[in-house]
Amino acid sequence: MTHRYDVLETPLGALAVVVDDDARLRHVGFLSDNAPYGKHVALDPQWKREKGRHGAALLAYFAGELTTLEALPVELEGTAFELKVWRALRTIQCGTTWSYGQLAAAIGQPKASRAVGLANGRNPVALVVPCHRVIGANGALTGYGGGVHRKAWLLAHEGARPLLSFPGAGA
């Protein structure tokens, strides 16, 4: 299978977008100073750079059309557990946040919040599989592969309110 990629200029910096032959997103990640194409995107020199049809939807998201990412096709490869977590991430509505515990409960494994956090961190399709919408139980913006500053910007862009209470918190 051949992969193609594009690099989009966004308000948060360059964003690498990798698709397969069927135009399904395989990787989306911010370029960083530490790694040439972010934590999750390592470009193969054999891949061709070309404008993809999903670039317009991603740029529209940054321009304020927040629902443009919901229907984009993705092809995820991971363990059965990771796939379950990543599918659940796509159900988190724009403008809302979940805690790792809520995400664990959503997949039927309420005691697996640490494992959920690890799977969340391995998400290869940032933004479209919105791992940035998961925060700490206390409302803290815990890690994000693209940098916590980007996570804060994305949540503010989406109008997300900090998580103040959640099931089981006693609040």
State the DSSP string of 67-108.
TTTTT--B---S-HHHHHHHHHHTTSPTT--EEHHHHHHHTT
Kindly list the catalytic residues: 131
pLDDT tens digit at each of 171 positions of the chain: 788 899 999 999 999 999 999 999 999 988 765 544 444 456 677 888 888 779 999 999 999 999 999 999 999 999 999 999 999 999 999 999 999 999 999 999 999 999 999 999 999 999 999 999 999 988 888 888 888 889 999 999 999 975 543 444 333
Cβ contacts of residue 37 below 8 Å, gap of 6+? Answer: 16, 29, 31, 43
Query: For residues 121 and 57, what is the distance between their CA atoms, to the nearest angstrom?
Result: 23
pTM flag (> 0.85): yes
Q: What phi and psi, each to the nearest 5 degrees, are found at residue 28?
A: -140, 125
The amino acid that residue 58 corresponds to is L
Q: CATH 1.10.10.10 in the chain, residues?
A: 80-157
- Sign (positive/negative) of CA torsion 169, 109, 39, 10? negative
Helix axes 80-89, 113-121, angle to 10 degrees: 80
Whether the Cβ atoms of residue 57 and residue 82 lie closer than 8 Å to each other: no
CATH architecture of the domain with range 80-157 = Orthogonal Bundle (1.10)
